[in-house]
Amino acid sequence: MNATEYIWFDGKLVPWQEANVHVLTHALHYGSAVFEGIRAYKCSDGSSAVFRLHDHAQRLINSAKILRMEIPQTVDEISAAIIETLKANKMPDAYIRPLSFVGYGEMGVYPGNNPVHTIIAVWSWGAYLGAEALEKGIRVRTSSFARSHVNCSMSKAKAAGNYINSILAKIEAKEDGFDEAIMLDTNGFVSEATGENIFMVRNGIIKTTPLTSILGGITRDSLIQLARDLGYTVEEQQFTRDELYTAEEAFFTGTAAELTPIREVDRRTIGAGHAGPVSKHLQKEFFSIVNGDNPKYKHWLDSYTF
């Protein structure tokens, strides 16, 4: 990865190489950490902006609440620290990774009074699923690993420990020659991918899975609002893998993945085998929003300059 100059660590900007922790950090042993993925974009007018900054900072706080972790910072303080970190690193666009974790103290599952630390790192991260993915679409398989049951590890929390489930599915998919995995919930319905939410298009209607067993994606929420504003019907409804096999179009959404079309599921071609018209339309509109070209959605952008 491309190192930048500083990482924000509990209120101080420290050099990238010195942002270290003890090997007996609680989170390293038990996954007791919550994080965010946020993007800052360079806008067409030369300024820069963070996409839905406060919503991401709020989700970090919410994830911590679910886990009974006490983050010392408020939503506003996290948001301000993110801007400070972008500016300190002179990053006109970036992927932003805030992480709050249970630190060094007592060992054992019970986090007790161990301190909670927060870091914010920023770096350049291009197309998450490969340079051609945004244009041509990707090939995915259904995972043999189910998404965690709703009463197992709290999918609404973007918690580090939850990602073991994703890692298992991702390794399986990659080693079998696919780009990404679709995970079914414990009732057999499509839930989400290892780091993205999923949408499909059938008879011109856009469907996405309900929030039940998934992370409430901020890109998902943005796409639902955008599609409805553009006149599409969007339904939040459970669907099965065979419904997906015969969809006209399908795509993933996520901060890292943005809007990535799916061209094949379990060796069945989706639609024409490349990004369909609805996916392309929404992708174009999404990029126009994050690049600051659509005044209607300016409230989703927090601008910063150097």
Buried residues in 152-170 as b, exposed as e (16+ CB within 10 A): ebebbbbbbbbbebbebbb
Q: What is the smallest separation between the CB atom of 112 and ligand PPE, expressed in angstroms?
A: 28
Query: Per rule CB under 6 A, is residue 219 in the interface with ligand PPE?
Result: yes
The contact pattern for ligand PPE, residues 95-114, with x = CB under 6 A and - = no contact, is --------------------
Q: Near ligand PPE by CB under 6 A, which window of 79-87, 200-208, 210-218, 278-286?
A: 210-218
- Please state at what angle helix 277-290 crosses helix 218-229, rounded to 10 degrees: 110
**Are 137 and 265 contacting, i.e. CB atoms less than 8 angstroms apart?**
no
Among 32, 191, 197, 283, contact with ligand PPE (rule: CB under 6 A)? 197
Among 256, 265, 270, 278, contact with ligand PPE (rule: CB under 6 A)? 256
Q: Which helix (H) or strand (E) holds 228?
A: helix 218-229
Q: Find, among 109, 97, 124, the residue nearest to 36 by Cα.
A: 97
d(CA 94, CA 164): 25
Among 4, 26, 27, 37, contact with ligand PPE (rule: CB under 6 A)? 37
Residue 133, class by beta-carbon neighbours within 10 Å (0-12 exposed, 13-18 middle, 19+ buried)? buried
To the query of whether residue 158 is one of the catalytic residues in this protein, the response is yes
Query: Per rule CB under 6 A, is residue 192 in the interface with ligand PPE?
Result: yes
- Please state at what angle helix 218-229 crosses helix 53-66, rounded to 10 degrees: 130
Among 98, 111, 254, 271, contact with ligand PPE (rule: CB under 6 A)? 254
Residue nearest to ligand PPE according to CB distances in the complex: 37
**Are 264 and 250 contacting, i.e. CB atoms less than 8 angstroms apart?**
no
d(CA 197, CA 200): 11
Q: Return the residues of window 129-188 that contact ligand PPE according to CB under 6 A.
A: 166
Query: Per rule CB under 6 A, is residue 49 in the interface with ligand PPE?
Result: no
Q: Which helix (H) or strand (E) holds 148?
A: none
DSSP symbol at 255: T
- Active-site residue among 12, 158, 174, 298? 158
Token pair recorded at residue 221: 């929420």
Q: Please name every residue paired with 125 in a beta bridge, in sequence order, or none if there are none.
A: none
Q: Decide whether 58 or 105 has the Cβ nearer to ligand PPE.
A: 58
Q: Near ligand PPE by CB under 6 A, which window of 20-28, 75-83, 254-262, 290-298?
A: 254-262
Q: Decide whether 163 or 232 has the Cβ nearer to ligand PPE.
A: 163
Query: Per rule CB under 6 A, is residue 217 in the interface with ligand PPE?
Result: yes
Query: Per rule CB under 6 A, is residue 196 in the interface with ligand PPE?
Result: yes
Helix (H, G, I), strand (E, B) or coil at 13: strand
Query: Per rule CB under 6 A, is residue 250 in the interface with ligand PPE?
Result: no
Q: What is the smallest separation between the CB atom of 263 and ligand PPE, expressed in angstroms?
A: 20
Q: How many residues bind ligand PPE (CB under 6 A)?
A: 16
Active site residues: 158
Contact residues for ligand PPE, defined by CB under 6 A: 37, 166, 192, 195-197, 215, 217-220, 253-257
